[in-house]
Structure 1
Amino acid sequence: MERRNVPPGEPAPPSASGGGSTRQDAYPATRVQRRAGGAPNSAGPERAGGRAVLLGEHARDIDVSAAAFRNLAVGGGISGFLTVLCAAALVDSPGGVWLWIWQLVFGVCFVWFITSAKGSLSGRGFLVDQRGICPRTSGEVFGVPWDEVAAVGIGSLRPIENRRLVHPERRRCLELFPADSAFPGRHPELERWRVEESPPMQGLPSVRYRFHLPVLSRLPKRLEQAVQAAAPRVWVGNYRRRPPTPET
């Protein structure tokens, strides 16, 4: 038992044991957002209009970078290993035509996985719940309430568009369409993802915010499930994007 000297007339301080508060009680867990050049903000991402998007405890975290890294680790690892294996076999049999062909094929696959894994370490992803959707990247989280969103969908391109090869990282993307023309002014932090093209379907604005997704992943399905569970009215499904024809 701990003994303390208390001056007459003053209440005794609470004991560290028994019914006193613990460290966990004094410092409850909060969601913290780091902003460039500023102090951390608690209780979720800040909105430029003044209202914060507070995510609930059941918010879904869709990790884009993890899927990109998985592609790199599995696909790149296997194709790289087979490329080295073919090269080792060619040392003993330099005249093997098929070995040269397979080495070329596996080498191309290895390079493809490397180029398609861009941003695998940038912490990209989305937090989704009934209150809003929050894109995140490089330690930053940006909140968008559902009442500011007109539509969300998955846009895709063919491997070749306008007689040009499309980079694997740019073939599929999540697109967020704002509900009003004042959205860019309220969310200048999303400007890096803003694009303007012809609407993919009638009734949608030409301005949208495009977030590219890695290939060979279930991210489109996971995002569809998350958005439909949180805000089914905004989900418009999958559609083919039609990029503008480049000027000649």
Structure 2
Amino acid sequence: MILGFSSGPGEALLLAEVESTNDEVRRLAAAGQTGPLWVRAEVQTRGRGRRGRTWLGAPGNVYTTGLFTLSCPPQEAANLSFVAALAVAEAISAWVPSDLVRLKWPNDVLLDGRKACGILLESWHGQGGELHLAVGIGINVLTHPDGLDQPVTCIRDHALPNRPFCTAEALFDGVRSQFHHFAGIWQADGFAPIASAWLARATGLGDPIEVRLPHSRLHGRFAGLGLTGALQLADEAGRITEVTAGDVFFGG
């Protein structure tokens, strides 16, 4: 499913400052790069999250995007959002208490219930029809933004005592290594083991939630993941609705 998937975590390119690491890998793909390739920036001036939201890019945090060329449909490529979330969760757990690290559908990594990482996947077809995928990852290491519509935090606020502090470079290396590990499982065995590992770290599983869509709101219990990673929402009668996009709020 990943064309030319390497035996290691892929080449890495460090840049001092970019507008967006996702935009940078698009330019590299247009110039002939196929990946696996990771672009990391020390500063990102116009990063973005889901639905066009801004992702601030202060120094000391991780701003990176992996470029991959795939031989699967875009809906299957979306599985790599869960691969990325697992990779970040495992990498972060080297520096904070592991039981504080949880995953929130569809693509957030939480520390003690607060957002510490966002993930943005973007796919497009190249001139030859090949599918390119950008896996954008932003992790709050030293700082986090204020005034958002959800609680946020950074790794520094939860660091384990008596060990060297996490740096952006060290965390980036850990994420690359873990992404390669979980992507290899996905490529060999499909989405099922990825879904199982993701659900083991999921926050709110079995709890009441509200899913906010552009023109409506859904209520029920978070029942699990569908075959493509859709959120399964169970109503009072146990009927399952699969949701492919939306904002999740607990206690719905």
Pairwise TM-score range, normalised by the shorter structure: under 0.3
Find the structure with the greater CA-based Rg: 1
- The two structures have a TM-score, normalised by structure 1, of 0.24
Higher helix share: 1
Higher strand share: 2
